[in-house]
Chains A and B, each alone.
Chain A
């Protein structure tokens, strides 16, 4: 048995180290280390509750709006208010803009460059992939950055700026959209739709969202001159439609009123019970104790703890590790294409990537309908008052999956603030019972070490990890 330490694992958000125990060139055990500690839960304690809205976006530069939305929801719970209809639509638009921009960034800048590696120079698709996806210099990068920046102009209208906005408030949004701006939002969405249809899919969004099986996907992709079909060709050739399976248990908190909350396990959908969530610190450099529900959670540094190997806690649902992300959302939503991919081969690199891009095809038209539903002149923000004592929970979906904030207020100040981020689920370490996290499972049996293909790179990045959130 030899130990291989991979890091810095780049083109993820933040810093990541993966240790692999190898036997005959195959992974026997994997240990995922989030090597940075941030300490945001402690920063919040003792602050005015609404300060959370200014602080939590700074946890993460790539999902800052998701953090804002979770905090706003937790505060709204404590205040006993709900967003106005316009405020709700504005918040959905802001969250969807970030989530979809992140999917695009992940595919084009973080994930695809690995297929341009010299290790694949003899594959039939390598020339085309290298031309489009070589890191920084590929022709796709030059196209996607203006498309992404153009799409994020939605934030200029809806949220002032991105990242790090204070526009999302417990009662909705600080930024009322005018009748004229509503028209300009639609124009921006049309521009983005055009990029997706021409470059990413080579087909209409409607046609892509209706693909309903693996066979239909493969038939659709064959010979189609666009970026997703090119990925499908490479993924099939490398067997990535069958690699990267974790536990095939999925969690979603539900998003936009389009995708439901719940748990998917062994072919069954079950309702979400947030009280079944605990965090276990057995393998983290944090004070050990019994696993705690996040409403009672603690984060106390124990930097010299023996046998710990990460700053990440291990969230568990009814004792089990769960996978979160776009694939989980679509499994819960019952999308036939993703259900078929998972039922045939389990959660794979290809299924995770397809789920993300499918969300672009499904959510952009929904965003167009939300913009149309905005009622200029009606209020964008409900008002309310904070109690001196109270608590709240914010459960939202970031691009990378389920994000929860648990907050309690005492004497008008934040008494406790606990966060479970998506990658905390996906990249969790072993718990006290030795159960590994989803990525640690997904890496088992893969080729690695001297002369091995970069399969591990694809599997790790297929989760679209956000390490800075993980170690909030």
Chain B
């Protein structure tokens, strides 16, 4: 399976993240699964004219390839010219290359939230970059390729959203495709693979005991739950970050900071400061997905009243002050 990769209005972080794929070398793993890069801007030898030749052959339909992976937002500005990114050496807008190549790809993957939905590039007030995703403009279908775009393989753009993407999300989607294809039932309503978007970030969160008792962190580095005060959206964000660790053992929550829901369209403009939870009458506006508000309020009140001292005290410091009690066998058995 041949993969052609392009980068545009993004940071390249999804490729840097992909190179962290474990446990094997990414290159060996993909090669043994029958996947090769026809060209990748950060990895391939071919430069300048050699690279343009490959791209032109693909765009003209003379050189077959399977997957077009695009990393970075599509910059249509200024004034629809695409001049905010003319691909080096070609003088043509990157958006034009993507449109031509998408017409010949069997599958089109948006790598990262910028490519899927626009991301931070689309976030300047008034969007002067005229940035968008491949098939979305934040939550609205459309984007560069249009809402009706379907690649030759029968699917619209597959949105491997995340800022950045976890290497496992990309490798797993490519390998599933190489093994047995992808179908609409593999994707959610925003085109994200259900392998990872079928979970919530909350699932497997190491701070779960604090969440259960609503024992909340108050300031950066506190051990408590980050939902009530520090902006955490893990109970609403679709991803498996706490089930599939990052860089060996990490996740945002394990790192001590809020999930900012970077797999969701429009995450870059939450309407409040990222590290603060907006509240009405002391109750967070963004409640856990699927949870009725009245239940949440009632449960939170009950939990708070039942919080063990250990959990309450440890929540507001950066290392546990009280250890879990050891229950000794009593004499009266």
- Chain B binds chain A: yes
Interface residues of A (CB under 8 A from B): 5-11, 13-17, 33, 35-40, 42-43, 45-48, 50-51, 53-55, 58-62, 64, 105, 109-110, 113-114, 116-117, 134-137, 141-143, 145-146, 148-150, 152-167, 169, 171-176, 178, 301, 303, 376-377, 379-381, 383, 457, 468
Q: Which of these, A17, A142, A153, A166, contacts B275 with CB under 8 Å?
A: A166
Residue among A36, A117, A171 with the highest chain B CB neighbour number at 10 A: A36
User: Using Cβ atoms and an 8 Å threshold, which residues of chain A touch B17?
Assistant: 61, 162-163
User: Using Cβ atoms and an 8 Å threshold, which residues of chain B touch A160?
Assistant: 246, 250-257
User: Per DSSP, are chain B's interface residues mostly helix, strand or loop, or mixed?
Assistant: loop
In angstroms, Cα B17 to Cα A122, docked, is 37
Decide if B319 is an interface residue (CB 8 Å cutoff): yes
Beta-carbon contact of B12 and A167 below 8 Å: no
User: Using Cβ atoms and an 8 Å threshold, which residues of chain B touch A156?
Assistant: 245-250, 254
Beta-carbon contact of B120 and A157 below 8 Å: no
Beta-carbon contact of B88 and A35 below 8 Å: yes
Beta-carbon contact of B120 and A153 below 8 Å: no
What are 26 A-B contacts defined by CB distance under 8 Å?
A6-B89, A7-B48, A9-B47, A11-B45, A16-B88, A39-B124, A45-B125, A50-B274, A53-B275, A60-B13, A61-B10, A61-B11, A137-B31, A142-B27, A146-B23, A150-B248, A152-B247, A153-B249, A156-B254, A157-B249, A161-B255, A162-B17, A163-B164, A167-B256, A173-B221, A383-B219
Beta-carbon contact of B221 and A11 below 8 Å: no
Q: Which of these, A50, A58, A142, A154, contacts B120 with CB under 8 Å?
A: A58
CB-CB nearest in chain B for A4? B48
**CB proximity of A58 to chain B, nearest CB, Å:** 5
In angstroms, Cα B13 to Cα A381, docked, is 27
User: Using Cβ atoms and an 8 Å threshold, which residues of chain A touch B245?
Assistant: 156
**CB proximity of A440 to chain B, nearest CB, Å:** 16
Q: A8-B89, A110-B42, A136-B44 are in contact. Are A381 and B78 (CB under 8 A)?
A: no
**CB proximity of A52 to chain B, nearest CB, Å:** 10
Q: A146-B23, A380-B221 are in contact. Are A109 and B43 (CB under 8 A)?
A: yes
Beta-carbon contact of A8 and B220 below 8 Å: no
Q: Which of these, A48, A136, A164, A178, contacts B27 with CB under 8 Å?
A: A136
Q: List the 7 closest pairs (A to B, CB-CB), nearest first.
A: A160-B255, A61-B13, A7-B88, A7-B89, A156-B250, A174-B256, A153-B248
User: Using Cβ atoms and an 8 Å threshold, which residues of chain A touch B86?
Assistant: 35
In angstroms, Cα B124 to Cα A109, docked, is 34
User: Using Cβ atoms and an 8 Å threshold, which residues of chain B touch A143?
Assistant: 25
**CB proximity of A96 to chain B, nearest CB, Å:** 15
Beta-carbon contact of A62 and B260 below 8 Å: no
Decide if B128 is an interface residue (CB 8 Å cutoff): yes
User: Using Cβ atoms and an 8 Å threshold, which residues of chain B touch A162?
Assistant: 17, 20, 246-247
Q: Which of these, A62, A142, A152, contacts B12 with CB under 8 Å?
A: A62
**CB proximity of B254 to chain A, nearest CB, Å:** 6
Q: Mark B85-96, 1 if CB is under 8 A from A, else 0.
A: 111111000100
User: Using Cβ atoms and an 8 Å threshold, which residues of chain A touch B85?
Assistant: 15, 35-37
CB-CB nearest in chain B for A102? B16
Beta-carbon contact of A14 and B258 below 8 Å: no
Beta-carbon contact of B258 and A10 below 8 Å: no
Beta-carbon contact of B220 and A171 below 8 Å: yes
Q: Mark B21-32, 1 if CB is under 8 A from A, else 0.
A: 111111110010
Interface size on B, residues (CB 8 A): 82
Decide if B9 is an interface residue (CB 8 Å cutoff): yes
CB-CB nearest in chain A for B250? A156
**CB proximity of B28 to chain A, nearest CB, Å:** 5
CB-CB nearest in chain B for A116? B45
Q: A15-B85, A109-B43, A160-B256 are in contact. Are A149 and B20 (CB under 8 A)?
A: yes
**CB proximity of A157 to chain B, nearest CB, Å:** 6
Q: Which of these, B21, B123, B255, contacts A167 with CB under 8 Å?
A: B255
User: Using Cβ atoms and an 8 Å threshold, which residues of chain B touch A110?
Assistant: 42
Beta-carbon contact of B164 and A159 below 8 Å: no
Decide if B84 is an interface residue (CB 8 Å cutoff): yes
**CB proximity of B241 to chain A, nearest CB, Å:** 8
Beta-carbon contact of B20 and A383 below 8 Å: no
Beta-carbon contact of A155 and B221 below 8 Å: no
In angstroms, Cα B247 to Cα A36, docked, is 30
User: Using Cβ atoms and an 8 Å threshold, which residues of chain B touch A61?
Assistant: 10-17, 164
Q: Mark B46-65, 1 if CB is under 8 A from A, else 0.
A: 11100110000000000000
User: Using Cβ atoms and an 8 Å threshold, which residues of chain A touch B16?
Assistant: 61-62, 105, 163
User: Using Cβ atoms and an 8 Å threshold, which residues of chain B touch A33?
Assistant: 88
Decide if B318 is an interface residue (CB 8 Å cutoff): yes
User: Using Cβ atoms and an 8 Å threshold, which residues of chain B touch A171?
Assistant: 220
Decide if B281 is an interface residue (CB 8 Å cutoff): no
Decide if B273 is an interface residue (CB 8 Å cutoff): yes
Beta-carbon contact of B11 and A176 below 8 Å: no
Known A-B contacts: A136-B44, A161-B246, A171-B220. Give 14 more (CB < 8 A). A51-B274, A136-B37, A148-B19, A149-B20, A152-B247, A156-B246, A156-B247, A160-B251, A173-B221, A174-B255, A303-B84, A377-B319, A379-B221, A383-B220
**CB proximity of B237 to chain A, nearest CB, Å:** 14
Q: A61-B17, A146-B23, A148-B19 are in contact. Are A161 and B44 (CB under 8 A)?
A: no
**CB proximity of A61 to chain B, nearest CB, Å:** 2
**CB proximity of B205 to chain A, nearest CB, Å:** 12
In angstroms, Cα B125 to Cα A13, docked, is 27
Decide if B41 is an interface residue (CB 8 Å cutoff): yes
CB-CB nearest in chain A for B73? A38
User: Using Cβ atoms and an 8 Å threshold, which residues of chain B touch A46?
Assistant: 125
In angstroms, Cα B88 to Cα A160, docked, is 35
Beta-carbon contact of A10 and B41 below 8 Å: yes
In angstroms, Cα B42 to Cα A10, docked, is 6
Beta-carbon contact of A468 and B10 below 8 Å: yes
Q: A14-B7, A136-B27 are in contact. Are A9 and B124 (CB under 8 A)?
A: no
Q: A8-B48, A148-B19, A176-B318 are in contact. Are A136 and B89 (CB under 8 A)?
A: no
**CB proximity of B104 to chain A, nearest CB, Å:** 19
**CB proximity of B92 to chain A, nearest CB, Å:** 11
User: Using Cβ atoms and an 8 Å threshold, which residues of chain A touch B84?
Assistant: 36-37, 303
User: Using Cβ atoms and an 8 Å threshold, which residues of chain A touch B19?
Assistant: 105, 109, 145, 148-149
In angstroms, Cα B51 to Cα A460, docked, is 17
User: Using Cβ atoms and an 8 Å threshold, which residues of chain B touch A45?
Assistant: 125
**CB proximity of B239 to chain A, nearest CB, Å:** 12
**CB proximity of A249 to chain B, nearest CB, Å:** 28
User: Using Cβ atoms and an 8 Å threshold, which residues of chain A touch B46?
Assistant: 10
**CB proximity of A423 to chain B, nearest CB, Å:** 13
CB-CB nearest in chain A for B223? A176
In angstroms, Cα B18 to Cα A109, docked, is 14
User: Using Cβ atoms and an 8 Å threshold, which residues of chain B touch A301?
Assistant: 78, 128
Decide if B68 is an interface residue (CB 8 Å cutoff): no
Q: Which of these, B40, B87, B260, B276, contacts A35 with CB under 8 Å?
A: B87
